[in-house]
A and B are shown apart, each in its own frame.
Chain A
């Protein structure tokens, strides 16, 4: 009952699929012309870097290219990567404990919109910290979504963490508070607190989240990290997410998930470059080990498609 894919489509896309390098190769020792700039623009836009950030990035590159008299595709790509790399200069240290809050139990709070991978990331971080010998407590702060606690329980079991949960519909702040108290009493090393997914335009839910953070930051606990989880497929809305969550919860870093797919996650470049929120972790799958630290160099290479060869 379906019409086949319009034939015109794939042909229309073919050009965007060619790697940037291929397209720039036509530069052929001439100064970059409009076609070159268009290719670069499409590459950045196509990676979800966004119109504003793309334009600003290429504007700077134009200056560099003119100053340095660049006439070679490789050199131009190199200059672009360098320029982008310079924008990713935030401190991406993951804080095992809250700075200047000695004697408290550190809490890592995971926030973000619906379905981005908060709970799964907690499972992965829990696996990593457990493997390092830390005693991990997980807080089932998503008391809203169906079976959210069961999902986190599975992850807690997988990595030998203890789960503290409340009943469905319970106040998330009180669940997190209970978890922090329990962790402190047991001398656990860290609390990983899950929260329900929420869209950033829901003021009441953002207020609720701000309260969760305040409660988590109260003795005996102290928030060491508030990690905003961003799905690599996210488009321009990611910036609005970052702004709103940062305002509500003092986000300390970004986790970029689902980078194992075809999406490039370029919005986190805009988020770090424009808002100064450092990307700290990257999710590369659904398994406990599919988590790596963010590395700006390889990320930019992947984003520009230069790792393809």
Chain B
């Protein structure tokens, strides 16, 4: 089975190039692959059916351009359509002119409501607000205690009172008004959409506090049922947005699409871990790529189009993704990247790039340094870097105004990259576990080896980036390039 939609489509549609126009038969063949990719990503079957129909309408008759293969073209339409549904721009939370801004969280059992409530409170604080949390889950054992523990860690007050959750929520609202809190976040008990009694209860809670925002909290690992659940919650509560949780896992997250399609509202926030700070505004473009099982290759292609002649565009993108590697090519690639604009954004668009990489500083200076190092090598050294010994290294360092250590670093990274790239081209060779290298880098925060190391400081030890890329497991990718270890900063910078 193919790993990514791009692989599948390039197989299906290779023969089409240069034929002028896409015919319905070609499109159908591509759509069959897209359907499978979406189903494997857990998008609901009914949603897939309608989605594929829409893409079909947009694709048939579309021109086959020189720069994009028909496969890429269909992929682009799919990608755009996905982003459309997931929300073209992040939800812009408007705080009420007459405080408190009331936020209600609802969802299935265990979806991550209580954790998200605390995270949202922390987010509000970061926006200069003064939130109050309401523990209106009076049902699950120790639910309020859980909220209190989380709230203590961020120094936010929790309101709760035993008895009826509706009264409890209403009490929280009056307390917020009295205490001058400008945001009220109500955590509710998990409930099944089929549980009419509990759905009525949450509707009554909603009536009591009249939320400005009602967020449906959805686990990214959820499958087909996402639609039935979202429909009922939306019908009951008029959902304003979705909080997608557990995105630090490796689920493709097709549920996001199912839910967004049903409620017609954007995904507002992404929860990417158990710690309070593992929370961010949602990026629809990244999610679309994740669902399709590929990096944001389409955007990469679009950027490439602007820089190169049309015919060269595809080849350029291809080189970036697949690159065959010599040291000259390495520097060439870096130069190309620089020409295409903001490096950070380019790198983050490559398939499977982790946040660790995304956040690494890759600036023009580093490229200039890398260039200088390579240019100080003899042609023989560039082709066979193995011959570079200590004295050659010293010469190269002197020639490029760098240190021997920097030269070694570059060579080490280059060798590793060459291995990775080799693996990438042959798809399916093994890849270093994403977490390991990262754990080493952040060694100081990994806590004790073995057990019990998840609280305090670095607690849950694997750093954020390593695990949240959503790339299919086991596939080698440029995500493994350790830009920070590359250490191309000039001395003294």
Inside 8 A of A13's CB, which chain B residues have their CB? 46, 227, 231
* A236 CB, nearest partner CB in chain B, Å: 5
- Contact A286–B139 (Cβ < 8 Å): yes
Cβ–Cβ contact B249 & A234, under 8 A = no
Cross-chain contact of A143 among B223, B261, B452 (Cβ < 8 A):
B452
Question: B453-468: which residues lie under 8 A (CB-CB) from chain A?
Answer: 453-456, 459-462, 467
Contact: A203 with B238, CB < 8 Å? no
Could you tell me if A261 and B460 are in contact, using CB atoms closer than 8 angstroms? Answer: no
Asked, given contacts A5-B263, A261-B225, A263-B224, whether A235 binds B251 with beta carbons under 8 Å apart, the answer is yes
The reply to whether the CB of A218 lies closer than 8 angstroms to some CB of chain B is no
Inter-chain contact A116/B262, CB cutoff 8 Å: no
A47 partner residues in chain B, CB cutoff 8 A? 224
Q: How far is the CA of A258 from the CA of B109 in the complex (A)?
A: 8
User: Does B385 reach chain A (CB closer than 8 Å)?
Assistant: no
Q: A residues within 8 A CB of B36?
A: 51
- For residues 396 through 411 of chain B, which have their beta carbon under 8 Å from a beta carbon of chain A? none
Do A235 and B452 touch (CB < 8 A)? no
Asked if A1 is an interface residue, CB under 8 A from chain B, the answer is yes
Tell me whether A235 and B223 are in contact in the complex, defined as CB-CB below 8 angstroms, given that A205-B460, A262-B228 are known contacts.
yes
The stretch from B170-178, B296-304, B433-441 touching chain A is: B433-441
A146 touching B39, Cβ below 8 Å: no
Contact of A113 with B146 in the complex, beta carbons under 8 Å? no
CB of A46 within 8 A of CB of B45, answer: yes
Is A63 in contact with chain B by the CB < 8 A criterion? no
Contact (A261, B235) CB under 8 Å given A147-B142, A204-B439: no
Q: Is the CB of A5 within 8 A of B225?
A: no
- List chain A residues, Cβ under 8 A from B225: 48, 232-233, 261-264
Q: Contact at B262–A169, with CB atoms within 8 Å?
A: no
Residues of B within 8 A of A245 (CB): none
CB within 8 A of B450: which of A123, A171, A258, A267? Answer: A171
Other than the given A2-B265, A154-B142, A171-B448, 20 more pairs (CB < 8 A) read A2-B239, A10-B231, A46-B45, A46-B224, A114-B246, A147-B149, A150-B145, A151-B145, A174-B451, A199-B249, A201-B249, A201-B435, A203-B436, A205-B462, A231-B219, A233-B221, A234-B222, A235-B251, A237-B252, A263-B225
Chain A to chain B contacts (Cβ below 8 Å), 23 pairs: A6-B264, A12-B49, A16-B45, A45-B39, A48-B223, A50-B40, A51-B39, A115-B110, A115-B112, A145-B274, A147-B149, A150-B141, A199-B250, A232-B225, A233-B219, A233-B225, A233-B226, A234-B222, A234-B223, A237-B42, A262-B193, A262-B225, A263-B224
